[in-house]
Chains A and B, each alone.
Chain A
């Protein structure tokens, strides 16, 4: 049987920007429609690949590998190959492994979306120890909470089977970049159903979902704090959050927001964050009367 051959040209520089998320979204749509094909990912012009975006690439690989397709990576340069070998990406697909000498990769990992502690252990034992800068206990706590909230959002709103993650710690500028992806219900679907409004666009739906108090949780439940908590944290941190869901793109960098719609639809949700880890801001409002060993009463 002649196999259909498709080549997907990976961009020259794969960075955390709209253009590359648009590329990934188009690529996942391409591969999901292929059967019995040989799919080549051509890296011959690619000089840079942001490590955290390995998570998105991994999703494309997994989707593309269905329907009896065969996949191949062509001309991956040494630098990118090293990233893939160190961050568990190549290991996952049986392509080899290198030791992470600088111990700065936050491994590409696919989590089951069941209620299990694996992600919490991964954050505590894999991600936080990679950050080689002194952090306040308060910052560490808030950062961990933000990551946990992202994961729980993917589980509960995405209603997906698997959640893909990957990250990277950059010691030179004291930043962490981290990506969480699910292929479940999109924010657009959830918000349109909840608001009973089929006219809301994908970027408007994401924007709605990021506002404190807005939640698509069922009647009898309360919510709408998780994403706004992350927004507040990153705003003060001068960090960045990007959310891609269906054809919506939404980003906030410090206090500056941008949103638009893409040509293609991502069949799930990507949340990408960039955090400055050399952060000594105060995030928790202190109460002078608080004592850790005292029973707390009358707070309701």
Chain B
């Protein structure tokens, strides 16, 4: 199944979390049905982390990385968009693997030192 982002969000600007949710929901449905999905970035003019956090990052809350690697492919993504996506993926892995999304105090104490 090919998902052309531009057609699904009706814009060349993939910038908002709401539009990210639209893409996330489609991907999530197809993975749940064990269907491979190709996310096509053709004709997308600009992408933000605000969009990608919701489109892709949130998937880590539902699926394991192995599942995402099996079912999700990307096409026509620019090098700059891929750079941003990798930041989003790295952050999502931390957020959802350590339970930090439910631990708002997790970053309050920055370090603990002085132990012998």
Interface 1/0s, chain B 74-93, versus A by CB < 8 A? 11111110111111110110
Q: How far is the CB of B104 from chain A (nearest CB, A)?
A: 5
Q: Count of chain B residues with Cβ under 8 Å from any Cβ of A?
A: 51
Q: Are A298 and B46 in contact (CB under 8 A)?
A: no
Is the interface on chain A under 10, 10 to 19, 20 to 34, or 35 or more residues? 35 or more
- B residues in contact with A142, CB < 8 Å: 80
Bound CA–CA A148/B74 (angstroms): 23
Q: How far apart sit A285 and B65, CA to CA, in the bound complex (Å)?
A: 23
How many residue pairs at the A-B interface have CB separations less than 8 Å?
A: 133
Instruction: Please state if A299 and B48 are interface contacts (CB–CB under 8 Å).
Output: no
Residue among B13, B73, B76, B108 with most chain A CB within 10 A: B13
CB-based contact B15/A299 at 8 Å = no
Indicate if A296 sits at the interface (CB-CB under 8 A).
yes
Q: Which 3 A-B pairs have the closest CB atoms?
A: A300-B68, A120-B13, A152-B50
Residue picked from B61, B95, B102, most chain A C-beta under 10 Å: B95
Is B79's CB under 8 angstroms from A222's CB? Answer: no
The docked-state distance in angstroms from the alpha carbon of A155 to that of B18 is 11
Measured CB to CB, the nearest residue on chain B to A214 is: B107
Residues of B at under 8 Å CB distance from A? 11, 13, 15-19, 38, 45-50, 53-54, 57-58, 60-61, 65, 68-69, 72-80, 82-89, 91-92, 94-96, 101-102, 104-105, 107-108
Distance, CA A152 to CA B92, complexed state (A): 19
On whether the beta carbons of A296 and B53 are closer than 8 Å, the reply is no
Task: Give min CB distance, B97 to chain A, whole Å.
Answer: 11
Find the A residue at minimum CB distance from B38.
A295
Report the bound CA distance from A78 to B17 in whole Å.
43
Cβ–Cβ < 8 Å partners of B45 in chain A? 120, 124
A286 to B50, CA, bound (A): 22
Partner of A152, one of B17, B38, B72, B89: B17
Q: Are B108 and A195 in touch, CB under 8 angstroms? A: yes
Give the residue name and chain of the A residue nearest to B101 (CB). Answer: A219
B104 and A222 within 8 A (CB): no
B-binding residues in A (CB < 8 A): 115, 117, 120-121, 124, 138, 141-142, 144-145, 148-149, 151-153, 155-156, 194-197, 208, 211-214, 217, 219-226, 229, 284-287, 290, 292-293, 295-300
Complex alpha-carbon distance, A214 and B77, angstroms: 27
Given contacts A148-B48, A152-B15, A225-B88, whether A296 and B82 have CB atoms under 8 Å apart is yes
Do residues B80 and A295 form an inter-chain contact, with CB atoms below 8 A? Answer: no
**Minimal beta-carbon separation of B92 from chain A (angstroms):** 4
Which residues of B are found within 8 Å of A213, using beta-carbon distances?
Answer: 91, 94-95, 107
Q: Are B58 and A222 in contact (CB-based, < 8 A)?
A: yes
Q: How far is the CA of A194 from the CA of B86 in the complex (A)?
A: 26
> Contact: B46 with A296, CB < 8 Å?
no
Structural contact, B79 and A290, CB atoms closer than 8 A = yes
A141 lies within 8 A of B46 (CB): yes
Contact B68 A296 (CB under 8 A): no
Asked if residues A152 and B16 are in contact (CB atoms below 8 Å), the reply is yes
The reply to whether A115 and B19 form a contact with Cβ atoms under 8 Å apart is yes
Chain A hits for B69, CB < 8 A: 297-300
Report whether B53 and A221 are in contact in the complex, using a CB–CB cutoff of 8 Å: yes
Question: Contact between A222 and B80 (Cβ–Cβ < 8 Å)?
Answer: no
